[in-house]
Structure 1
Amino acid sequence: MQPDQRSLDVTSPEEIAKGFTEARAAGRSLDRYPGTPPANLETAYQVQAAAIAAWPDAIKGWKVARVAPAFSAQFPEERLIGPAFARNVHQLQNDEIAHCPVFDGGFAAVEAEVVIVVAADSPAGKSDWTADSVIPLVRSMHIGVEVASSPLATLNDLGPGAVISDFGNNWGVVVGPAIENWQQLEAIEVETFIDGKSVGRGKSAIKAGPLGALAFTLNKRAQQGEILRAGDVISTGMITGVHDIRIGQQSRHVFAGFGEVRVQAGRAAAIAA
């Protein structure tokens, strides 16, 4: 008698985390989810925590994304978070192009986002932040890009539990020029191009978007018994959409009145432990 395949798919958070972190460290893709995708937020963040504990790099910030309405009953939070590691945070100088790795055969996309740099360590245990009360914790606000990449090409299709479990599908945060007058802005408009072709336009309300994302991250980390650190970067959510990118392609993200950010996608290579 053949064993029930479903029983073979049920693995511990540590085993799922190992499947993803080993693939990421080797720079290789996965042909299936390494176990059963988490069915709830608690399990998803348990996998994420196990993966963070196993990863040989320091956390330098967090990516934030909204939970799609289709998944809101199963995953009842408005947003999700995932870690951004130090080697994948790219600080641009002048007209530099950010060279960012993505997984060949996996998921790879770019997202124009506003990036917040945290001003100070957040107070431990405080979990009632709002878009208004976070303002003193904003050191600076920047135009930027999240590079979303996973060894698993179908990660996003599996829903928020799977996304959370694999570092929130993050493999890079690009920090561009500062938005000097962000406190006077109501919204920011952006257009994204890939290899010169426009692929999306959008607008983000500063209070509901970036500041709301920072508040969510602070509250989520406090609920996890952790804090944000001074200098952490928070990639606050897509503005023009999630745009697939292939190795060798270049994206350009134009923030009206504030400049642009360019990203060159390269092949993720194996990394040293």
Structure 2
Amino acid sequence: MATTSDPILVAQALLAARAEKTPLTVYPGAYPGTMAEAYAIQDAAIALDGRRVGGWKVGRIAPELVERHGGNRLTGPIFSDEIVDASAGEIPDMPVYGAGFAAAEAEILLCFGEVADGDYDIDTVRDCIAAVRTGIEVASSPFPEINRHGPAVTASDYGNNKGLVLGPPIADWRDTDLITMPVEMSVDGEIVGAATMETMLDGPFGSALFLIRTLRARGIAIPPGTWVSAGAITGIHEIKPGQHAEAVFDGKIRVSCSITG
């Protein structure tokens, strides 16, 4: 039987694997070759899922694949019921697909206020940001090889997202040089990555600008309160159930979570 390229059938299979927590040994259809094909699957899955989208993750496309895919970023939905506030120092349990792919990423989180009609640029996009917080994106998919077949495959399964931990705010973000802020990521107390946002293309506000343009092209509104997980700062750190992840921003702002299966 031929491998399906019907985005609805692929979306149904991906959703079933997530709901049943069943690992996918093969991708459930033809690999999407373009971002348009990937977002068609993603849009179908969002519609079938029915949950409210509370934010969007933004990830980077490898430099050697930028020309092929027409851009340097991808996005996927973060559902409201998988966004956890840990700003008071809580250590929430964040579930992943233990037999699939799972990772934790230190990220800057932007909260949209009103997004007006018209064009934005890298400077004016700040005007529609209401708050900035620290956080951890939990990436997970029942397809263990999700990141091995290109960004379109990654984007097709919710951008490989499984949740978001909201850490403490950066209250003075308008006057802070976020780009040079040092960030460290630890797993079970061992540092697994350290970097600044200088590694993130044009930084977190570039991610917000990308998201506005991409969602508008897909006909998706951005209501106030929508979160943007702006991209991995220290890398994509694979993680397993039972482990503990902690991100430290500017040497003093901490956000943590425990990973469950």
What code does the residue aligned with 1:66 have? R
In the aligned structure 2, how far is the partner of 1:130 from the partner of 1:207?
Answer: 15
Superposed displacement of residue 174, structure 1: 1.1
Structure 2 residue corresponding to 1:14, chosen from 8, 18, 31: 8
Structure 1 residue corresponding to 2:224, chosen from 226, 230, 236: 230
How does the TM-score come out when normalised to structure 2?
0.95
Superposed displacement of residue 123, structure 1: 3.1
Is the CA contact (8 Å cut-off) linking 1:90 and 1:98 kept in structure 2? yes
Q: 2:193 is paired with a residue of what secondary structure? A: strand
Within 5 Å, which residues of 2 pair with 1:86-235? Answer: 86-120=80-114, 122-124=115-117, 126=118, 128-186=119-177, 187=179, 188-205=181-198, 208-235=202-229
RMSD of Structure 2 on Structure 1 (CA): 1.5
Moved more, 106-115 or 70-79: 70-79
What code does the residue aligned with 2:153 have? A
Q: Map Cα deviations across residues 211-235 of structure 1 (whole Å, 9 max, x no partner).
A: 1100110111111122211111110
**Corresponding residue number in structure 2 for 1:45:** 39
In the aligned structure 1, how far is the partner of 2:25 from the partner of 2:252?
Answer: 40
What code does the residue aligned with 2:233 have? I
Superposed displacement of residue 207, structure 1: 9.4
Superposed displacement of residue 208, structure 1: 2.2
How does the TM-score come out when normalised to structure 1?
0.91
Is the CA contact (8 Å cut-off) linking 1:179 and 1:258 kept in structure 2? no
In the aligned structure 2, how far is the partner of 1:105 from the partner of 1:61?
Answer: 26
Percent of residue pairs bearing the same amino acid type: 34
In the aligned structure 2, how far is the partner of 1:146 from the partner of 1:115?
Answer: 9
Superposed displacement of residue 112, structure 1: 0.2
Superposed displacement of residue 95, structure 1: 1.4
Q: 2:197 is paired with a residue of what secondary structure? A: strand
What code does the residue aligned with 2:131 have? S
Is the CA contact (8 Å cut-off) linking 1:63 and 1:81 kept in structure 2? yes
Q: Map Cα deviations across residues 42-81 of structure 1 (whole Å, 9 max, x no partner).
A: 1111011001111131000100011111221221112111
In the aligned structure 2, how far is the partner of 1:152 from the partner of 1:40?
Answer: 19
Superposed displacement of residue 100, structure 1: 0.6
Distance 1:185 1:204, change over 3 A: same
Unaligned residue ranges in structure 2 (runs of 5+): none
Q: 1:34 is paired with a residue of what secondary structure? A: coil
Unaligned residue ranges in structure 1 (runs of 5+): 268-273
In the aligned structure 1, how far is the partner of 2:223 from the partner of 2:251?
Answer: 30
In the aligned structure 2, how far is the partner of 1:207 from the partner of 1:169?
Answer: 20
Q: Across the two proteins, how many residue pairs are aligned to each other?
A: 258
**Corresponding residue number in structure 2 for 1:243:** 237
**Corresponding residue number in structure 2 for 1:63:** 57
Is the CA contact (8 Å cut-off) linking 2:18 and 2:142 kept in structure 1? yes
Is the CA contact (8 Å cut-off) linking 2:87 and 2:255 kept in structure 1? no
Is the CA contact (8 Å cut-off) linking 2:87 and 2:169 kept in structure 1? no
Q: Map Cα deviations across residues 103-144 of structure 1 (whole Å, 9 max, x no partner).
A: 021000000000011112x235x4x32221111211110010
Q: Map Cα deviations across residues 142-187 of structure 1 (whole Å, 9 max, x no partner).
A: 0101100000010001111101100000111111110112112222
